[in-house]
Chain A
């Protein structure tokens, strides 16, 4: 069965490659790691079967695929090579752990499935089970947000705002599982299908009509890789902006800070959502919105995605998060605003050193809401 957006006909595309090198030129991992995406495609043209472990350096930011003039989709070619490694069983233990955890506990960290909705129990207001609702609007949390205490605030904040705005929504509680976005990118196709099918069957079971995704990664998977059976999906920044624009929620307090917005790859360059997060920030009195030199389509990847979160990189090299934070500092930013839990944790780790805050947009807006 062919699913919308998943490219099954990739071998043909490989031969369309003219080795122009735009992919490598745009790759945030080239030069500093052994990954050379142009060579990855080249070797496939020669039918080379020996897959190199270098492919694990890819962050799935998608820059190569966007830049490619021949529509080769190098980032997809790379996933197929990862697949060969996965099927052969020869993968590093840290990736293996993430995949096995996702099979058993349905999240890459192997956290208890029964604790998936603990973040909701810690909220000081009630968050409903989707089964108890009339309007079938689902809030879908990312594994990072469900389990990392640092990121728990994102689903809690967004829930609070939605509740306040009178928008009915519910969650899947323990039935929610990993969306599979990174799993597909790690090359574990069968596992991705399993996760997708279980999610879709839950969506059907509860008659879900609309999904609000909190993470751009889940948003991407459901929108582009779940096929026709998935309900419509929006990213939470789209809803927040609509609520602000329509005056349903109002900013009451000032947020007197210089905020530089970092575009998450799966929200921005891969799915074209650039304006909503910026509009939200600009709607806040006192906030001065700054821009990175590399922003929007050219935004520099934080290196959290595509399974890099789980790859035990032996190599020592400068993280993109570090140069990102340095630039923010040069710009005079006090806060780096993000709209993705992966970006939040990767950037924050570096930012702590420099005394810059990293905040999810939902955190900023919650602070200033009337």
Chain B
């Protein structure tokens, strides 16, 4: 059976959950999942892989796209062409996949989130998920893809035979690109446009005295606090925390809006958030038209209960 060559998505010693999407993809296509992995003790779910090839390279060398080319070429030399070269659509995969594809002049499709068996097409989103294209790869030879996180995980199956282990040694290094170190984001001045999770408070908060409890909730949730203009105008939160046309435009992973009605000027600043959750006591509040999830309730009651649950943890 032909194989899918999976380049492990690893970072700082961790074997990412996203790798299971790559396994799932192979299973859906009915090809053997092979994994290439750098040196190190990774928590690999070995039973998913037909073959695991450990490369004599450290993690940082391994995920350097210039070295990835060397590794992939060597695997192909040794084992023949795979059916596909498979990466996750992560900060590594997005960098390595096109580079390797370009080097080998292979067809490439990125951010694949589905597969249709009958037509043999791959599904890819375009225009920020507004439309999807069913794509067919033409011509001979293998192709390169990156897989969207979460899209094939449920298809991942353990194999019945034993996993074969290999070592790949004697690889050169391309010195033209060198890893110098990791840098954590400096956490000085809070920049709400960079936050992944915003807890945003509106006029519904009522009085200034309620604010500290929302700050506590934010810190328990690991969220950054922001607000609508009335809250900023009253100086309950600093101006730098204002979301909207006369404040900041934000696109966090989650925007939790509490006591915000959803006025045009506010919505313009947050509508592109990946997930919007609104808490409002008014079921007719316009914010619910933009939200993915809604809770119709008193925001203070929700806050108090959340704090209670989180403290108990």
Contact = CB atoms under 8 A, between A and B. Distances in A.
Contacts of B265: 148, 345
Interface stretch (B94-102, B118-126, B239-247): B239-247
A47 interface: no
Interface in B187-234: 203, 229-230, 233
Contact of B286 (A149, A309, A345): A149
A150 interface: yes
A316 B235 contact: yes
B106 interface: no
A246 interface: no
A109 B203 CA distance: 24
Nearest to B242: A312
Contact of B245 (A109, A314, A316, A349): A109
Given A316-B239, A349-B229, A349-B230, A147 B264 contact: yes
B286 A94 contact: no
Interface string A341-359: 0000100010011000000
A149 B286 CA distance: 10
A169 B152 CA distance: 57
A133 interface: no
Contacts of B246: 94, 309-313
B268 interface: yes
B290 to A, nearest CB: 12
Contacts of A352: 203
B263 interface: yes
Interface string B231-268: 00101000100000111010000000000000111001
Top 8 nearest A-B pairs (CB, nearest first) are A148-B264, A312-B246, A314-B239, A109-B268, A149-B264, A150-B264, A312-B247, A316-B239
Interface residues of B, number: 15
Contacts, number: 29
B263 to A, nearest CB: 7
Contacts of A312: 246-247
20 contacts: A94-B245, A94-B246, A97-B249, A109-B268, A147-B264, A148-B265, A149-B264, A149-B286, A150-B263, A310-B245, A310-B246, A311-B246, A312-B246, A312-B247, A313-B246, A314-B239, A316-B235, A316-B239, A345-B265, A352-B203
Nearest to A345: B265
Contacts of B229: 349
Contacts of B268: 109
Contacts of B233: 319
Contacts of B264: 147-150
Nearest to A313: B246
Contacts of B286: 149
Contacts of B263: 150
A166 B233 CA distance: 46
A175 to B, nearest CB: 23
A352 B263 CA distance: 13
A143 to B, nearest CB: 12
Find the residue from A149, A311, A319, A345 having the highest chain B CB count within 10 A. Answer: A149
Nearest to B247: A312
